[in-house]
Homo-oligomer: A and B are copies of this chain.
């Protein structure tokens, strides 16, 4: 979303951010599919990605992925059916349930991590060490004022 009439060589920052994001997503997705993890959707992956090592509550997942609880619940349903995650009771709150990575999910993680590392290495090589560092630093700083979750 952004300026509908961008100057030709001066795209607004929204698009500028979106383009590489999309590229990363596509790469990871393709690699996972090739490794046999082809039974989940991008939307499911966006949820999966946000599950912490000790499990994460559904509401938290929903917030951090910026979707409604209903949507998150639905996506977790599917991920559960295909064996990527498991719902376990939250010992500290009987209303809540922790979504945890299950076997299949754990198997997919290293594959995803490897591709991310690979793509980052490519980008780093293209930008050069200095620009790469600047990019990471600027984005981290930007996150302080744009991350609604945490």
The number of residues on chain A lying at the interface, defined by a beta carbon within 8 Å of a beta carbon of chain B, is: 61
CA distance A131 to B137 in the complex (A): 8
Q: Does A142 contact B (CB under 8 A)?
A: yes
Instruction: Return the chain B residue nearest A149 by Cβ.
Output: B19
Contact string against B for A residues 114-127, beta-carbon threshold 8 Å, 1 for contact and 0 otherwise: 00100110110011
> Known contacts A16-B140, A136-B13; is A2 also within 8 Å of B23 by CB?
no
Q: Which residues of A contact B (CB under 8 A)?
A: 1-5, 11-25, 28-29, 42, 45-46, 48-49, 51-53, 66, 101, 105, 108-109, 112-113, 116, 119-120, 122-123, 126-127, 131-132, 134-148
Other than the given A1-B29, A4-B109, 4 more pairs (CB < 8 A) read: A12-B24, A17-B20, A17-B21, A134-B138
